[in-house]
Homo-oligomer: A and B are copies of this chain.
Amino acid sequence: MRNRTYTADAEPGDTVTVAGWVHEIRDLGGIAFLILRDTTGKIQVKFEKDEMDDDLVETGLGVHRESVISVTGDVAEEPRAPTGVEVTPESLDVIAEADPQLPLDPSGKVDAELSTRLDNRTLDLRKDEVKAIFEIRAEVQRAVRDKFRDLRATEINTPKIVATGTEGGTELFPITYFGQEAFMNQSPQLFKQLMVGSGLERVFEVGPIFRAEEHNTPRHLNEATSIDFESAFIDHTEAMDVCEAVVKAAYEAVEENCQDELEALGLAEEFEAPSGEFPRLTYEEAIQRINATGELDEQLVWGDDLPTEGEKALGEDVGEHYFITDWPSEIKPFYIKDHDDDDTLSTGFDMMHPNMELVSGGQREHRFEHLVAGFEQQGLDPDAFEYYTKMFKYGMPPHAGFGLGGERLIMTMLGLENIREAVLFPRDRQRLSP
């Protein structure tokens, strides 16, 4: 429709063709209004029954809600119309009539369960506040990519079909690949590391990851978006700098470019990009502070992983994004390097939103012998990972990086209750379509 005008662009005095969905029809007797909705907003179409062609009136007022129509007519100022203008139709075409029985009400007047919404995402995304989440999600992806490029990183795409998982055979979805066993990749970890040893040195990727976790919680997905970064010649503290810069860039972009979307979500007033430096707590400080809150039944001791309630108590205590550093080596993966002066202390770090973990990162083990030993300690066969380990024999620089959960970033940024709200078509134990 080369002659289509977006409703937001219809100016008084114009003759326009607008097209979109029938949002609402209000019949007041001699006069009636049809509210037409498109991606840019809504516009009022006025029917003065006595002064208009009967067919036109009948078609316009007889059409079901959510049908697709186009309307050609003159635009005039009308202060009482929702957007201050209205169209008087000269012609009206019903392009796609909607079934009157809608499985979901896009006007939002009737609440729907999340599962009904996900079953009918097309209709669900006709709601301003749902559409807003995905406009913001797109803006966040744009902003993080831009920030990574500012920091001289090159965008890469690593394979999603792999022969071995990052951390062995657990939590992997098996594939039949031309008669061979293969898996859907759970993380770009090994591949991004292979690239820091190349001439690229510093890379990032925004892409899907797949985890066959049995978890079915409001914060887990079986297919998610990972925002990955890895760089040669930096240590874990520099990786934390990058991580903080990228998360801030995402918030700042949303604050700057998504005010309408924040408004639709009812967040325009409270939304604020984090300004100060994210505090960096050691693991030891973290467990002390958790213990001091008195929220846990049992005190944490060195070597414990942080339970969800512990994270929550600490998050409330800290009240902003923060890092946890210097974890016990034994609870971090083998490919994370230990401190040179204390091999019980890992250079691994987590970056936390007050409500949950967003990022896991660290300096990596770049020394061939240590890496191979790590595989063995983890109970993995180093030979199965030879495609990866052997590159460490040919000049692998020290390097560090992180993985940031794309949906968790959106979920915490917008205060969504369920991570599935941050994905168009989520995948979990029960849900495989749409």
Contact B391 A433 (CB under 8 A): no
Contacts A155-B141, A175-B175, A397-B19; A391 near B120 (Cβ below 8 A): yes
Identify which of A193-201, A282-290, A312-320, A331-339 touches chain B. Answer: A193-201
Stretch at the interface among A206-214, A296-304, A321-329: A206-214
Interface assignment of A173: CB less than 8 Å from any CB of chain B: yes
Q: Contact between A161 and B210 (Cβ–Cβ < 8 Å)?
A: yes
What are the residues of chain B within 8 A of A95 when measuring CB–CB?
Answer: 397-398
Residues A175 and B177 in contact, CB atoms below 8 Å apart: no
| A161 lies within 8 A of B177 (CB) | no
Chain B positions within 8 Å of A173 at CB level? 161, 175-177
From B1, B97, B191, B233, A234 is in contact (CB under 8 Å) with B1
A interface residues (Cβ-Cβ under 8 A, vs B): 1-2, 4, 19-22, 37-39, 66-68, 95-99, 102-103, 119-128, 130-131, 134-135, 138, 141-142, 145, 149, 152, 154-164, 173-178, 180, 182, 184, 190-191, 194-195, 197-202, 207-208, 210, 212, 222-223, 225, 232-235, 238, 366-367, 387-388, 390-398, 423-427, 429, 432-434
A-B contact pairs, 23 of them (CB 8 A): A39-B200, A68-B395, A95-B397, A96-B367, A96-B397, A98-B393, A120-B391, A123-B198, A131-B198, A134-B200, A138-B154, A157-B208, A159-B424, A160-B210, A161-B427, A162-B432, A162-B433, A173-B175, A174-B175, A178-B429, A184-B184, A190-B434, A191-B434
